[in-house]
Amino acid sequence: MPQDTAAERPLQWSLNRRAASCDPTASLDRILPASALREPRRFHGQIPGFRTSPLKGLASLAAMIGVGGIWVKDEAVRLDLGSFKVLGGSFAIYRYLRRRLGAEDRELSFAELTSSEVRQRLGSITFATATDGNHGRGVAWAARALKQQAVIYVHSKTSEARIRAIAAQGAEVEVVDGTYDDAVRQVTLDAESNGWQVISDTSWEGYEEIPIWIMQGYTTLFSEAQEQLAAQGLVKPTHLFVQAGVGALAASGIAFYHRLLGAEAPVCVVVEPTEAACLLLSARSGDGEPRHFPGQLDTIMAGLACGDPSPVAWRLLWDCADAFVASPDYVAAKGMRVYGVPLDGDPKVISGESGAVTLGALMFLMEHAEGRPLRKELALGPDSQVLLINSEINTDPEYFRRVAWEGANPVPEEFRFDPGAAS
């Protein structure tokens, strides 16, 4: 993404004005039909050890930057896996097994799926996927929980900590030279040769159903968040800031709120790295077609380092997302530090690089003069209740310490806090 100054700007954006008048019915029905709104949560609720992840309010920070509330859905504790990704992988495998068992007309219990009788009917299945870390770990966990096998492909820049975390779930891990997108292509070829079943969170021509099931699985966290907000006396968030790689989580959250609230859905902002800004690039093209982002995808936000949007997710985002924002690594690093060293009265949140970029972007929007035009367009102010998703714990602890202890990826001098920006 071209840089406009010596230091990369904290925010690049594109407003999607068509979202205000577009009829999203077709894309919404494709991703989240009304019949699928509650099923994922019913399935997840019966998984042994499953519990609702916390919603944390950052009231002091909200007051400091000039919004009514900041609410963080903290997925760092999800099933002790440190990420929301297991919600999608487990639900997709569940739906696949239902089909294989000829039981699509009814819901199956977790106990039934793991029974010896069902195991004998299914035989041995190997699930495969490509990942930057969290999705692969979630698929590996779900495969093992359902007494099946998993092969997980990672790209060559994946940290050893993330590889070890996947292997600890009993999966075989293969390292592919290149980027995440190269790993996707390779696992697809190898799965066809070996008879594996691919459980991918991105889609391509002829492969959409499983990615849609994954997006449906993610809605569990938004359903929980909505109930938790209601317990705080809030009907809904006014704004949803959600991070994106291929766009699956963003599409899931936006689809959930548009299905639940229709025209009253919150203002939805999609945030991604400037070095992997495939969605911003697609939005700026203006023709509704997904675009490939070239380059090495060199960003600390490993879970968002994707050069190709998921086409099925993109169609929903093009219809419904109000703005696309790209931020450099120092924005995510600032978010990590602010989460980890909160203001007095706010809870501490441990967030990895991909989990913290939305907080960093929100702070730059509110604190810096550079964010004023977009802040006005999004109507962010004292009455705003902003929902963020901490999508991951510090899945790379060594790099987390570099950011938190040593100040890696500092905010450039010209973009540091501007006390007059919020006025």
Q: Specify the pLDDT at position 304.
A: 96
222, 253 contact by CB (below 8 A) = yes
Looking at residue 93, its amino acid is: I
Q: Which of 132, 201, 329, 396 is catalytic?
A: 132
Active-site residue (options: 73, 85, 319, 396): 85
- Residue 233 — left, alpha, or beta (φ > 0 → left; ψ -120 to 50 → alpha)? left
CA end-to-end span of the chain: 30
Fold agreement between 12-84+209-415 and 85-198: yes
Give yes or no: 132 in active site: yes
- What are the domain boundaries of the chain? 12-84+209-415, 85-198
Architecture of the CATH domain 85-198: 3-Layer(aba) Sandwich (3.40)
Nearest to 212 by CA among 178, 251, 186, 268: 251
Backbone angles phi, psi at 270, to 5 degrees: -100, 130
Q: Which regions in the chain score pLDDT beneath 50?
A: 1-5
What's the rounded Cα separation, in Å, for the pair 218 and 256? Answer: 9
pLDDT given for residue 44 in this prediction: 96
pLDDT at 7: 83
Residue 1 confidence (pLDDT): 46
Tell me the CATH number for domain 12-84+209-415: 3.40.50.1100
Category of 304 on φ-ψ map: left (φ > 0), alpha (ψ -120 to 50) or beta: alpha
The rounded distance, in Å, linking the Cα atoms of 183 and 154 is: 6
Phi first, then psi, for residue 382 (nearest 5°) are -60, -20
Q: What is residue 6's DSSP assignment? A: S
pLDDT tens digits, 378-410:
999 999 999 999 999 999 999 999 999 999 999
